[in-house]
Every structure is written in structure tokens, then in C-alpha cells.
Structure 1
Amino acid sequence: MRNGSRNGSRNGSRNGWGNGEGGTTVVAILAVPRAYPLDVSIPAYVFGRHPGYRVFVCGDRDPAPALDADGMPSRVDVAADIRPTRSPAALEEADIVVVPGYEDLSVPVPEDQLTALRTAVERGARVLAVCTGVFALAAVGALNGRTATTYWRNIGQLRAGYPEVDVVENRLFVEDGAVITSAGAGSGIDACLHVVQTDFGTTAADGVAKDVVFPAARGPHEPQYTDAPTPPRADLGATREWVRENIGSPVTVQRMADHSLLSRRTLVRRFVSETGMPPMQWVAAQRILAARRLLETSDWSVERVAGAAGFGTASNFRNLFRREVGMTPSAYRKAHGG
């Protein structure tokens, strides 16, 4: 992934994205024709669970029935479930624009909606595409030179139709600068929780996840699917939970293999299949998450947080935290501490 993606995810708070200062972060959901109602309702519900966001839906307020390429009524019509309250022009007020997935990609999105979306991108709004919503972003040139993903069934179509986009497959979501693209509806929840985490901290994202009865936000590197089903009762969920519970202790690949009753080689293979990353890279990410939660919710010293999260020395913790999060532990606590 390009550096723009890494900096976008780490430095969002420092760039003034949704830090709660100077007013509420405005989220506009662009209800394009033939949009999947679930893809509209997910961001509305997730962002609506946090008081730092104000959410509204844009689109044709009295839309004609959506038609497919043959001129027949579409079986998916956003108007059936969620009616927009604002016109597409209202995207100009948004800090975050969400483009839901939609059916029948052969029928173009209306030009006024594409124009509003293009204008929002050009002025620097953050944009989150769920599922096939990525095709609307690609159509306005927002993904040129960027890395993006989409629902696994549409990867080939995106790659063929927009060769200027660096399309990656089997990823829950991809963040490249101010643009996030995600796979299906489930990964749309992960992407929304990731935005909440970036804006308001890990504890806030945990609270929203609990409200919507969803696991804590998964990382962007986790896969959409595995090529081979894991045998019953052979997944590594229990081992990953063991690591979280012992995050302050020394954790090695061998200890994880011993806990899972697998060989090292089998553990590594299954771990990459289930999480999208090698075991120790995943452990490092869990240590960062544990440290973020402690910085947000406790008044512990940096030294104590470093030990509790398994980083060893405070110096090592400060260096790794700044590299991964984009700011020092003290600056993070100041930005997100309760």
C-alpha cells in the first residue's frame, strides 16, 4: 500500500478529521439509484451511534422507480426503505461522504450525483465506498493512482474497467489517503468503525461496536474470505483471544503454536489465512490497540502502559507507537483521553 494510505490512517486526528473541535463531523450518505438498502443503513446506523457525527442521506427525494439495463424495474430500490432528505448538492456540507453499493453497474449513476461526488473529492472530503460504491468513485476519477478494493465478485470488473486503479483483492477495506474502499456490507461496518476509531479513539469505536452488536473493528489487512474452509473447531479464535488476555506477557510463535496444539508451520499458514497477516505482525497490532485503550481510559504513566501492553521499555514503546499511530503516546492521550 502506498504511503498515502498509511499516513491517512495514522494521522487523521492531527489533520483535524473529526476531532470533536469546532463542531460536529457531518456525514452525508449518497443514496445512488439502485443502492442496496443495507449499504445505506449501515453507515447511517454506525455513525449515528456516536454524538460526534451528524448524518443525513442525499439523493433524489422523489425518485422514479429504479430501472435496470433492460428498462425493467430493479429488484433493489433504495426508495423502498430509506428516503433521502437532502439533494445531492448537500454533499458540499459533508466532511465524510459515504457511497453505498448499488445494483446493475452497467447503468451509470446520474450525472448530477457524480458531479456532486467529484466536487466533494476535489475539495478534500473524506470518502468511504461500500461494496460496489467504489465504481462511482472510479467513474469520477477519485481512485486514479490509488489503491482500492471491492466485493470479491466485482474485483475483475473493477480491474478491467479502471486500469489506472491499483486494485487489491481479498481485503476487508483499503485506506489510501482520504479514500476508503470496502468489500461487502459486513466490511462496511469495519470501515465505518475504523473511521470512528481514527476520529475519536479506540474506546469510542469499541463502544459503537458494542451498540451495534459487532466485534471490535477488524484491521484492513484481514481477508474477505479464505480459499479453504477451516476444519470445525480448528480455527485460531481461541488462540487469538489467549494472546489478547496475555498481551503484557512475552508472546512468540512457538507459544501460540503450543496453545493451539499445532506445528509452527501449520499455525503460521492458518494464521495468515484467518487474519491476513503473519502471527507476530498481528500481535504487534494487538499491542498497539491495547496501548491505545489504556491511554484513552487510564491515567497510567507511559512506562506502565508500555509494560501492560507488552512493549517492554518505555523507549521502545514510544518509538513503535509513533511509527504506527503517527504521534507520541502523550499526544495521543491528549487527543483522545477521556
Structure 2
Amino acid sequence: MEPKDATVVVGVLAMPRLFGLDVTIPVHVFGRHPAYRVMVCGDGNEDRPGGRESASLDEAVAGVRTTHPLGDAVDADILIVPGYGEPYLPVPERYRRTLRVAYERRARIVGICTGVFALADAGLLSGRTATVHWRYAEYLRECFTDIEVVGNRLLVEDGRVLTSAGASAGIDTCLHLIEADLGTAAADGVAREVVTEPARPAEKAQYSTARPHTRETLRATLGWAADHLGDPITVAVLAERSRMSKRTLVRHFVRETGMPPMRWVTLRRIVAVRRLLEVTDWTIERIAAETGFGSPVNLRTIFRREVGVTPSAYRRMRGADAGHAAEDPP
């Protein structure tokens, strides 16, 4: 699927006992980009005359009502299960079947907050790694022993299945999907539309265990690093700015971000490269210098390792100008 050329259909599954906020978030975020068409699917319209057009999206969100019958959900390109109350109760078979059929038809399946339990109940998380709101992580482990549960992580993507924590993590999840479909520039544009920060890294912890002073110091260091990606950045430099020993910095850094310092720097640099490939016609040499990779060879090697394609291939897929692709041989 090429989202630039075709509408991506996003289905939001209106589960029983659902949390209204978890419905509002995907409708609002995906609704801010013309590449997406959103529908709220559930039992509410199946017996109603007029069916699919009997409620607008605005009406659906205001009263958490459906805009489309449950059967339409199997045709979604992205099917989202919002959080719902009492996740220990069995999921109705019609919803489990809908999830399985949608997955078999190659949809990407997303569980937000306790919506993850519905994915597990449908068998879609068996043998996979998943996350959920920290409050429910241990319960998910107890109920589904064949799932590797990562408790304190913002979101986890395992194949075509994505699971996330609740509330604001739902926004990050939607932006993550937009970035995967359309690139970082498009995701940043939607973030501005909904007045939020760009998507946080998937590995980020749901909550911090650091003391307030330490947390603020780390945030200041992260902000400095993000603004100086083209500078030489080492663990020693970050530790000095944070006024910590290198060992203490690494320990707090992993707790706060979910990854070691230099891994975080590399991923931030990759995001910066992607943005520049999408919105500028800069040469690979200039991009490498601006983002701290130094040489074009180093940039190409790391970019391919992290993104799966060469910079030139990425520019052909996402950039506004493919004319410079020849500068980057495969």
C-alpha cells in the first residue's frame, strides 16, 4: 500500500465498555490528514436503517456511537482497539472473529491501553512481545503466559501488531503509524495540528522513577543533544553536561528513555536524516555532516541498518524531490 496515492482506511473498534478518550484520539489524529479515512465500527449500526452513514464521526465521538457496522471493520487497513473497562471479562466472539479476519486480510492491528487484552483474547499476541498500561502489565502476564509483556514501555511493534499504553501514548501510537506510512514530516505536521510534541520514541518508558531534580537534568541534557546532533556527542559529553559520572548517567538514562545514551543519539540522528531526506534536496554529504554521522559512507551504513533501505531509496519513497537519489549508490 502506498498511502500517498490511496486512502488508508482506519477502523476503530467500538468494544463494549470502551473508554471514550481512546476512541477520540485516533479519530482526531488520523482525521487531521487527508490520506486517512476513519470509521468507528461496532454493533450499534447493524440493525439501524441507513447503516453506515447514520452517524457522523463528530456525533460518534461525542456519544461514542458507531458510524459503521462491525462487519466493515474487517476491510480496514489499520484496525484499532481502544481501551475498555473490566478487561478481565471475555471478549464477545463476534469481536474476536472480526480481529482475526482483519489480521488475515493483512490489516495492521493496534491495541491501546486495555484494548491489548482483546488482541490477546483473539490469539493475535501469542508468541509476541507486547506492552500495556503499566497498571495492567502483571495481570496481562498472568492471563496470557505465552506473551512477552514489557511493562514500562510506551509502545511495542511486533510485525503487523502494535500495542501501547493508554492516554497520551495513544497519540504517540497514531503518530508512529503516520510516520511509518507518510514519513516524519507528515507526522510532525499532524502533531502540530493537534498541538502536541512529535511522536516520542517507542522505547521510552511510560513513567519515570528518577527523582524530580535528576529527571529535569536529564530532560535538559536530552534537549541539548537534540539541538546539537551535528556536534560530537559521547557518553562523557552527556555526563559532563548532566553533572553525573558516566556510570550514573547511563543508569538514569536507561530508566528515563528505555535505551542507552548513544542508542538514543543514533535514533534521534536517524529521525533528523529522514526529515531532511523528505523535505530538502540536500546532498548525502551535507546531511551526514549536519546530523553528526560525519561521512556519507557511515550515514548510508547506519541508515540502512536502522531503516531497512538506503537513503536514496527512502528519498524516492518519501521525498519531494527524487532527483538526488543518484548521489547515493546502493
Amino acid at match of 1:230: P
Note closer, same or farther for the CA distance 1:109–1:233 as it changes in structure 2 (3 Å cut).
Answer: closer
Of 54-63 and 312-321, more deviation after overlay is shown by 54-63
The answer for the alignment partner of 2:4 in structure 1 is 20
> Displacement of 1:327 after TM fit?
0.6
Maintained 8 Å contact 1:29/1:58: yes
**Match of 1:56, SS?**
strand
Distance 2:217 2:254 in 1: 12
> Displacement of 1:153 after TM fit?
1.1
Residue 43 of structure 1 pairs with residue 7 of structure 2: no
> Displacement of 1:266 after TM fit?
2.3
The answer for the alignment partner of 2:50 in structure 1 is none
> Displacement of 1:86 after TM fit?
0.8
Match of 1:311 among 290, 293, 300: 293
Distance 1:189 1:79 in 2: 16
> Displacement of 1:116 after TM fit?
1.2
Distance 2:215 2:37 in 1: 42
Distance 1:24 1:331 in 2: 22
The answer for the alignment partner of 2:134 in structure 1 is 152
The answer for the alignment partner of 1:31 in structure 2 is 14
Residue 282 of structure 1 pairs with residue 264 of structure 2: yes
Amino acid at match of 1:186: S
Distance 1:255 1:52 in 2: 42
Residue 178 of structure 1 pairs with residue 160 of structure 2: yes
Amino acid at match of 1:88: L
The answer for the alignment partner of 1:12 in structure 2 is none
**Match of 1:231, SS?**
helix
Match of 2:309 among 317, 327, 331: 327
Distance 1:333 1:197 in 2: 14
The answer for the alignment partner of 1:163 in structure 2 is 145
Note closer, same or farther for the CA distance 1:282–1:233 as it changes in structure 2 (3 Å cut).
Answer: closer
Note closer, same or farther for the CA distance 1:263–1:90 as it changes in structure 2 (3 Å cut).
Answer: same
Maintained 8 Å contact 1:19/1:335: no
The answer for the alignment partner of 1:337 in structure 2 is 319
Match of 1:130 among 74, 94, 112: 112
> Displacement of 1:252 after TM fit?
1.0
Match of 1:88 among 66, 70, 91: 70
TM-score (norm 1): 0.87
Residue 246 of structure 1 pairs with residue 210 of structure 2: no
The answer for the alignment partner of 1:11 in structure 2 is none
Identity %: 52
Q: Deviations over 1:211-258 (max 9, x none)?
A: 111111111111111234332774312211111211111111111122
Of 178-187 and 231-240, more deviation after overlay is shown by 231-240
TM-score (norm 2): 0.89
Amino acid at match of 2:32: R
The answer for the alignment partner of 1:257 in structure 2 is 239
Distance 2:190 2:292 in 1: 26
Maintained 8 Å contact 2:45/2:67: no
**Match of 1:129, SS?**
strand
Amino acid at match of 1:224: Q
The answer for the alignment partner of 2:90 in structure 1 is 108
**Match of 2:306, SS?**
helix
Q: Unpaired runs of 5+ in structure 1?
A: 1-15, 64-77
Of 221-230 and 184-193, more deviation after overlay is shown by 221-230
Note closer, same or farther for the CA distance 1:164–1:326 as it changes in structure 2 (3 Å cut).
Answer: same
RMSD of Structure 2 on Structure 1 (CA): 1.7
Note closer, same or farther for the CA distance 1:302–1:228 as it changes in structure 2 (3 Å cut).
Answer: closer
Maintained 8 Å contact 2:132/2:166: yes
Q: Deviations over 1:281-316 (max 9, x none)?
A: 100011101101110110001111111111011011
Distance 2:23 2:61 in 1: 11
Alignment coverage as a number of residue pairs: 307
1:264-303 residue pairs with structure 2 within 5 A?
264-303=246-285
Residue 141 of structure 1 pairs with residue 106 of structure 2: no
Q: Unpaired runs of 5+ in structure 2?
A: 47-59, 321-330
Maintained 8 Å contact 1:152/1:169: yes
